[in-house]
Amino acid sequence: MAEKGFWPLYEGKHIEQFLVDIKPIERWVSLDACQKKYGKPPEPGPKLVFRDIARNTDERTCIAAVLPERSCAGHTLSGIESNVSSDVMACVLNSLALDFSVRLRTAGTHLSFAYVAQLAVPEAGATRTLPVVPTRSVAGTSATNVADLPDLWPAIASLNLAVAEAYALTPDDLAYILTAFPVLARKRPVFYAYLQERVREWKREVEGARIYAMSAARLARAAESPEPYATEPARQPAASVAFQQAAVLAWVVHKLHAPGYPVSRFRVQKMLYLIEAVTDTGLFTEFRKQAAGPYDPGLRYKGPEDIAVRQRDWLVARGDTHFEPGPNIEEALGYAPRYIDIELAERVLEEFRTFKDETLERWTTVHLAAVELQRRGEPATPEAVLAYIRSVPEWQEKLLREEFALNRIADALEGLRKTGLLPREGRPTL
């Protein structure tokens, strides 16, 4: 048709990630009509486009491809121009890392430029060295997704690892990102499992690597010296915060667990709150004022519990609220000392292990109230703590219970000061 003056009109339904022609072309653009209407023919070169119709609950959200030369894009495709090659940009747009970011921002059924303009992308210098997966036409075949083309899997896995590195992500970060695509896992289980294995391989490479960095100046000195020249190992990528939290959470469950007695989420959260108060690691700083006292919903809903239970088998869930050590708990016990002061954390657990849930709730609530008062420069008296609790809507019902009577609040304050948990000057020490 091109020789007759007609170019194919691609729509959203005609493309998938790295693929075009997944459905037959139905409409064609007349070059003569275009010339008459716009005063110029369409741009003849390849075009980077992404699909407008997109949901964050779909198999994938951002779907990009490079249209072939002498073709046009309809309104359900949006085009991007960049000083980076179209094939490289398609790799970034189709990466799991960027798609994860897209899914956090989008709502509804359209991926518009309003969303795309907000996305963080790797620096241009980093993208130019990425492995490239050229867009492929699958006209005349039954393929409708890259999962149908196993010969592309190694290249797609490699580019996802490379893009993750360009974003300064770790293998654990990418492993978590994969879990944000449950429909992909359900519809393409073999492809999904392949990606998981490649991420695990990357993790083994990172953990087992011995990388030595030497600047040009140091290399010159080494060449001039007859003595052996030693270098320091380069720093390996740090584990994600969610991974670190998961390891510590699993360690706490292991320490609190007794055979036949699963550990409740309530007790784990309260112990993590107290451990953070003593160790000041910065790992557990998102506790909110909720009905049962300080509580961090992110530990449950933003990855750490999922990492510990489903991804790593460090823990086994018992019902919806309790945990026991899992088959791989020893792995978590090896990680946890990297992220917290184990000696201080163990002292916290020994101090509060025998506390009833009601007492833990009172002590942690009083502690949080006292810390807030001291941040304001106000004295943390029993009366002031009581007034503070009354000022928090989520905590007001506590005051109907004997556990939060004024004398009980005073007892908690005294106990917190005796143990050193209530900060006076500097960091609290248990």
Say yes or no: 388 and 245 in one domain: no
CA distance 84 to 293: 51
Say yes or no: 337 and 429 in one domain: no
Say yes or no: 99 and 178 in one domain: yes
pLDDT at 11: 95
Name the burial class of residue 123, with classes exposed (0-12), middle (13-18) and buried (19+) by CB atoms within 10 angstroms of its CB: exposed
Any bridge partners for residue 78, and if so which? 50
Q: With contact defined as beta carbons under 8 Å apart, do 351 and 400 qualify?
A: no
How many independent structural domains does the chain possess?
Answer: 3
pLDDT at 128: 67
Say yes or no: 43 and 166 in one domain: yes
144 HSE (CA, 13 A, CB side): 8
pLDDT at 212: 38
In the 8-state DSSP scheme, what is residue 66?
A: E
pLDDT at 249: 97
Tokens, residue 3: 């020789």
Which CATH number is 75's domain given?
3.90.220
Say yes or no: 322 and 361 in one domain: no
CA end-to-end distance (rounded Å), the chain: 80
Any domain includes 404: yes
pLDDT at 41: 86
Which amino acid, one-letter code, is at 121? V
Any domain includes 45: yes
Say yes or no: 339 and 268 in one domain: yes
Any domain includes 250: yes
CB atoms within 10 A of CB 45: 12
Any domain includes 218: no
Say yes or no: 183 and 55 in one domain: yes
Say yes or no: 253 and 377 in one domain: no
Say yes or no: 173 and 257 in one domain: no
Any domain includes 293: no
* Domain range enclosing 258: 239-272+298-350
Please report, in tens digits, the pLDDT of each residue of the chain (430 residues total). Answer: 666 789 999 999 999 999 999 999 999 999 999 988 888 888 899 999 999 998 888 999 999 999 999 999 999 999 998 888 899 999 999 999 999 989 888 878 888 888 888 888 887 767 766 778 999 999 999 999 999 999 999 989 989 998 998 888 889 999 999 999 999 999 999 999 999 999 998 888 776 543 433 444 444 444 444 554 444 443 444 467 888 999 999 999 999 999 999 999 999 999 999 999 999 889 999 999 988 899 998 898 778 898 899 888 999 999 989 999 999 999 999 999 989 999 999 999 999 999 999 999 999 999 999 999 998 999 999 999 999 999 999 999 999 999 999 999 999 999 999 988 886 544 444 5
| Among candidate residues 155, 179, 201, the one where a domain is terminated | 201
pLDDT at 2: 63
Say yes or no: 49 and 165 in one domain: yes
Q: Name the residue with tokens 């106000």.
A: 378
pLDDT at 112: 83
